[in-house]
Structure formats: structure tokens, C-alpha cells
């Protein structure tokens, strides 16, 4: 912006005082204050295992290579808040604590350790037996017939790590909200138009395949609601497209929650209500839905990306674009720019997609937005790698995950006081990962019972969080980077070059000259 040069000339009578000169009005309205810059990330780290307790075994020592790779990825980004998807849940929260102590707090390949005094994890629907034949194949068995696909309760759970305090008594979860209670729910149907699920099944059927969690984090007095979820993949079904429709409505839950349209929602403590209209939030997770490619129902993720309350910073990478070109398959047929891809799926049928999201509220200032996907000539490519041998074509496991970490650097509008939200019952027992000292450990929840149904609301207590140490940490410096692509809402103040204001008292008069120069 070019600043005007102002000249003021006046003969001042004796005793007249000039106190100040008001600068010219800027082109933009003066914005409000913001929080410090935060790095916020989501990462489907594939820290899930094939049987209950196996992840605990792998994390008990610090030598599991895949866990080391996941930890190094997080250390390279150094987020202040991160959601880790596909992290098996255990009722004592030992896995969340072991990953923190044995991996995140230990340098991996020279990367600086990262400490998270605040952790949240809670029970999920994956692997919890329904007692029904949900896929209508004539058998009741693990996997498809669980309330969320999984072989044991807690498989494919998630955990949130934070450098800032989590408000334990304000966490809301929607694990037990029933699908049929969503107005206009896309309940699947048989070919003849009859319901896919029997009345006794749908009466107990939870919408969330894992859980939906609203986790308020206190950023030096400003509350940011971390909205964490992991909707079911819109695949692995039949003509009834039951998983596509469930994925759509799982995404819709957050769209309604942030827009005020979700007055029908009740959380796991029986509280109703949506997020206040002035609340800061960031939607995190693997939503298994690409805006234009893939198999999602009716471009389900656009319910969030086109929501007037949501800012899409469009994180990108050079590695995603490179892999799309090198891997071929169906990737060249995709409509979206591959630099936005966040997952490396099979090239023959699905291809690489954008399915992992970090979406803050409008009014936030995004300074950078990236997908952690190094190019093949980058030393860090060893953390993402390939799932097949480039020489033989033989299938091999990814070094870490088929998903890529996604992160943004962001400032949120500061609040004078915390935004109120419904307070769960003080009987809530699912808490943050316990501290090593048993005397200070918060109470732990019971694992979801492998019963034949999810209790009707208000069901089991909502997971909450508490600090695992008594100190509130000073946030570590976040990684730097270039400005994020795409149009970003701005609330920062432009720097103005101003000269000092002069005041002159002259008995016989004076001449005042004030100039504002270009900086």
C-alpha cells in the first residue's frame, strides 16, 4: 500500500498544545487480536494392529521401526496440537502414553524430541460387536458386523496430543448418537426399497463409526475446539452403498454442529446443542472423502469445504504431484490437482486422494499449509516411501502409513473470555493418558463392553481429558514455511511506516510539519 504524504502548517498562538496527529484511515478495517501462531496437524499414522494388546507390545520398547517413523514425522512437523488417527485404544490409555514417552520424547534420526503434557483418547465403536448381521450375509462375525469395522473393541481409535491444556470438563463426544436420529438421514435401502437394517438394528445403530469428539484446548485464554473424527471409508459395501451413506452423514454431523443446524444432536452425556457461532474450531482427521475423486457419496466433504464457517487452506506438497505422475494407474484420470493429495492408495482402482483435513474457522489467519510428502530425491522420502518394490513390483508395507501428515500454521481470533459450551456430567470417567505416577493418574474408563448393542442415549460417559503433568508448557517454535496456497481470510494488521508525532509550544507561534513517508 502506498502511504499518503501529509503536510500540516499552522501558526500556533501562545500556550496552544498539539497533542497528536491521527493517521489516515487504512483501506482495511482494523482487525482484532489473535493468538500466537500455532502448528496444528492431523496424521493417520496406521498405528493399528491385528489383535488387542499388540500395539502395547510394540510400543513397550522404543525399537518398533514403524512407530519410530511415525514419531519422526511428527517431530519434523513439531505441531502444537495433533490428531493421530488409526491408533488402537486401550482403556488404561497405556498405548498413548507409551508412544509419547518411548517415541515422541526420544529423538528419532536427529529430529528434536517433542513433549505433549496433555493427551486425550476415548472409546470408539470400531470392533464393538453389535450382535446383529449388519452386512446381511447370513452370519454374525467380527469386522463388518461390529458397530464400526474392526476386529476388536478399540481398533482404529485415535488420540490427540497437545502442548496446551485440554479442558477436561468441557469435552463432548457423540459415540452413541444414533444414525436414525439425524433428520433426513441417508439410511440405506434394499433393492426393493425396504430398509437395509432391521428395526431392531437401526434402533441401536450409532452414526459414528469411531466417535466424534469436541475437545476444547485453552490457548492462553482463547478456546479452540478440536473437532476430531474418522468417518468410515465409503467403500466395501454393495448396491445399498451403506458405507458411502454413513460416511456422508458422519461428515454432516460436524457440518451441522458448527453451523447451528445440529440442534437435534445429543452427546454421550445427554447434553444437546451445537457449537456457539463465535467459537474457534479446527476440524481434524481422516474423513475418507475426496472433494471430486474417489467414491464418496455426493461429494460428501463439500459439506465442510463449502461451509460458510470453514476456511480451507488447501495444504499441498510437491511429493503428491510427483507420485501421481510416477505411479500412473487411475491417477491421470483424476480431476483434482494431485498436489493436494494426502493418501497413497492403490493405483489400479482408487489412486491417490485428498482425504485428510485440517480446517479452521473463518477469521483464522493461515500462514502456511502443507502436506508432509517429500519428493523422491528428498532424504525424508524414507518416511513416506512406496508400497511396492520399484524394481520387482512386489508389494511391501509402507514405511509408516498410506496417509500423509497434514499441517497448518494458524492464528485464531483471540477471545476475551472462554466460549461457553455444554458441560458434561462430572461423572465422566474417560480421561487423558495417565501420568507415570499412579498417585496423580486420572481415573480410567472401562473399555466398551462387547455387548450386543450400544446403549441408548444418554449412554456411557463422555471421554474427557486432563493434564498428565502439573505444568502448562511453553509452546515450542513451529516450523517455518512459505505462504499457504489458496485464498486465506486475513485478520492481521499491515505494517505502517509512521514518523513520530511532534508537538511544539512557541510563545510567539510555530510552524508544524508532519510527514508520513513510505516504508
Please tell me the predicted confidence (pLDDT) of residue 464: 39
Phi, psi (degrees; rounded to nearest 5) at 125: -85, -15
Please tell me the predicted confidence (pLDDT) of residue 393: 82
User: 437 Cβ partners below 8 Å, 6+ apart?
Assistant: none
Which residue did the predictor score with more confidence, 476 or 38?
38
Which residue did the predictor score with more confidence, 443 or 368?
368
Q: Is the domain of 24 the same as that of 73? A: no
Is 480 part of a structural domain of the chain?
A: no
Instruction: Record the pTM.
Output: 0.78
Give the residue ranges of DSSP H helices in 110-163: none
Read out DSSP for 22-55? Answer: PPPPPSSPPP--BPPPEEEEEEEEEE--SSTTHH
- Which of residues 450, 467, 484 is at a domain's end? 467
Which residue did the predictor score with more confidence, 462 or 185?
185
CATH code, 225: 3.60.10.10
Please tell me the predicted confidence (pLDDT) of residue 121: 98
Please tell me the predicted confidence (pLDDT) of residue 391: 83
Q: Is the domain of 1 the same as that of 22? A: yes
| Contacts by 193-202, CB closer than 8 A, 24 or more apart | 196/136, 196/240, 196/242, 197/134, 198/132, 200/132, 201/130, 201/132, 201/134, 202/178
Q: Is the domain of 206 the same as that of 149? A: yes
- Which of residues 446, 467, 488 is at a domain's end? 467
Q: In what order do the strands lie in the sheet with 356-360?
A: 172-173, 213-219, 222-229, 280-286, 356-360
What mean pLDDT is reported for the chain?
A: 82
Q: Is the domain of 435 the same as that of 316? A: yes
Is 473 part of a structural domain of the chain?
A: no
Is 137 part of a structural domain of the chain?
A: yes
Q: Is the domain of 437 the same as that of 506? A: no
Q: Is the domain of 178 the same as that of 203? A: yes
Is 472 part of a structural domain of the chain?
A: no
Number of domains in the chain: 2
- Which of residues 425, 450, 467 is at a domain's end? 467
CB 362 within 8 Å of CB 312: no
Lowest mean pLDDT among 29-38, 119-128, 301-310, 461-470: 461-470
pLDDT tens profile 212-228: 999 999 999 999 999 99
Q: Is the domain of 448 the same as that of 514? A: no
Average pLDDT over residues 338-349: 95
Is 456 part of a structural domain of the chain?
A: yes
Q: Is the domain of 412 the same as that of 510? A: no
Is 482 part of a structural domain of the chain?
A: no
Q: Is the domain of 147 the same as that of 205? A: yes
Q: Which residue has the cell 482427521?
A: 285
Banded pLDDT at 388 (limits 50, 70, 90): confident
User: What is the Cα Rg of the chain in Å?
Assistant: 26
Q: Is the domain of 42 the same as that of 16? A: no
Range of the domain at 207: 38-467
In the predicted model, is pLDDT for residue 29 greater than 90? Answer: no
Element (H, E) at 359: strand 356-360
Q: Is the domain of 132 the same as that of 4? A: no
| Torsion, Cα of 458, 142, 284, 328 (10° steps) | -160
Is 62 exposed, middle or buried (CB count within 10 Å of its CB: 0-12, 13-18, 19+)?
middle
Please tell me the predicted confidence (pLDDT) of residue 389: 85
In the predicted model, is pLDDT for residue 32 greater than 80? Answer: no
Q: Which residue has the cell 450382535?
A: 131
Please tell me the predicted confidence (pLDDT) of residue 331: 95
Is 483 part of a structural domain of the chain?
A: no
pLDDT tens profile 457-504: 444 333 334 343 333 333 343 333 333 333 333 333 333 333 333 333
Please tell me the predicted confidence (pLDDT) of residue 31: 61
Q: Is the domain of 185 the same as that of 259? A: yes
Is 241 part of a structural domain of the chain?
A: yes
Query: Closest by alpha carbon to 234, among 384, 385, 345, 88?
Result: 345
Give the residue ranges of DSSP H helices in 23-147: 54-59, 65-77, 94-99
Amino acid at each position: 500500500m502506498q502511504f499518503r504524504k501529509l503536510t500540516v502548517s499552522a501558526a500556533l498562538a501562545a500556550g496552544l498544545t498539539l497533542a497528536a496527529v491521527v493517521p489516515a484511515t487504512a483501506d482495511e478495517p482494523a482487525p482484532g487480536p489473535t493468538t500466537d501462531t500455532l502448528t496444528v496437524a492431523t496424521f493417520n499414522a496406521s498405528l493399528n494392529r491385528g489383535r488387542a494388546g499388540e500395539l502395547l507390545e510394540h510400543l513397550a520398547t522404543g525399537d518398533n521401526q514403524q512407530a519410530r517413523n511415525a514419531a519422526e514425522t511428527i517431530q519434523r512437523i513439531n505441531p502444537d496440537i495433533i490428531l493421530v488417527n488409526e491408533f488402537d485404544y486401550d482403556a488404561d490409555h497405556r498405548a498413548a502414553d507409551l508412544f509419547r514417552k518411548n517415541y515422541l520424547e526420544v529423538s528419532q534420526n536427529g529430529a528434536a524430541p517433542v513433549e505433549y503434557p496433555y493427551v486425550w483418547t476415548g472409546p470408539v465403536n470400531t470392533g464393538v460387536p453389535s450382535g446383529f448381521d449388519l452386512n446381511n450375509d447370513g452370519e454374525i462375525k467380527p469386522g463388518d458386523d461390529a458397530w464400526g469395522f474392526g476386529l476388536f473393541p478399540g481398533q482404529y481409535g485415535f488420540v490427540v496430543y497437545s502442548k496446551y491444556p485440554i479442558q477436561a470438563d468441557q469435552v463432548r463426544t457423540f459415540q452413541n448418537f444414533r444414525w436414525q436420529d439425524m433428520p433426513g438421514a441417508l439410511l440405506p435401502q434394499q433393492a426393493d426399497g425396504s430398509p437395509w437394517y432391521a428395526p431392531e438394528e437401526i434402533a441401536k445403530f450409532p452414526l459414528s463409526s469411531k466417535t466424534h469428539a469436541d475437545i476444547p484446548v485453552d490457548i492462553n485464554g482463547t478456546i479452540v475446539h478440536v473437532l476430531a473424527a474418522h468417518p468410515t471409508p465409503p467403500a466395501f459395501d454393495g448396491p445399498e452403498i451403506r458405507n458411502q451413506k454413513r460416511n456422508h452423514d458422519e461428515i454432516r454431523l460436524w457440518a451441522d454442529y458448527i453451523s447451528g443446524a445440529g440442534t437435534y444432536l445429543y452427546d454421550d452425556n445427554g447434553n444437546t446443542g451445537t457449537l456457539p457461532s463465535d467459537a474457534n474450531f479446527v476440524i481434524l482427521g481422516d474423513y475418507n472423502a475426496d472433494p471430486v475423486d474417489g467414491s464418496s457419496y455426493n461429494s460428501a466433504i463439500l459439506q465442510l469445504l463449502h461451509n460458510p464457517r470453514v476456511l480451507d487452506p488447501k495444504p499441498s506438497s510437491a511429493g503428491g504431484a510427483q507420485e501421481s505422475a510416477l505411479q500412473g494407474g487411475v491417477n491421470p484420470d483424476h480431476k483434482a490437482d494431485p498436489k493436494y493429495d494426502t493418501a497413497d492408495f492403490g493405483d489400479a482402482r482408487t489412486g491417490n486422494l485428498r482425504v485428510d483435513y485440517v480446517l479452521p474457522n473463518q477469521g483464522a489467519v493461515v500462514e502456511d499449509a502443507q502436506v508432509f510428502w517429500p519428493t523422491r530425491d528428498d532424504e525424508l522420502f524414507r518416511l513416506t516411501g512406496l508400497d511396492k518394490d520399484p524394481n520387482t513390483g512386489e508389494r511391501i508395507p509402507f514405511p509408516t502409513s498410506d496417509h500423509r501428515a497434514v499441517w497448518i500454521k494458524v492464528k485464531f481470533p483471540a477471545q476475551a473470555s472462554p466460549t461457553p459450551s455444554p458441560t458434561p456430567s462430572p461423572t465422566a470417567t474417560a480421561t487423558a493418558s495417565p501420568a507415570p505416577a499412579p498417585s496423580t493418574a486420572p481415573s480410567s474408563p472401562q473399555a466398551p463392553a462387547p455387548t450386543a448393542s450400544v446403549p441408548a442415549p444418554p449412554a456411557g460417559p463422555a471421554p474427557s481429558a486432563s493434564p498428565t503433568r502439573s505444568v502448562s508448557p511453553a509452546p515450542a517454535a513451529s516450523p517455518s514455511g512459505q505462504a499457504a496456497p489458496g485464498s486465506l481470510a486475513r485478520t492481521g494488521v499491515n505494517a505502517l511506516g509512521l514518523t513520530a508525532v511532534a508537538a511544539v509550544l512557541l510563545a510567539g507561534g510555530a510552524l508544524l510539519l508532519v510527514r508520513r513517508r513510505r516504508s
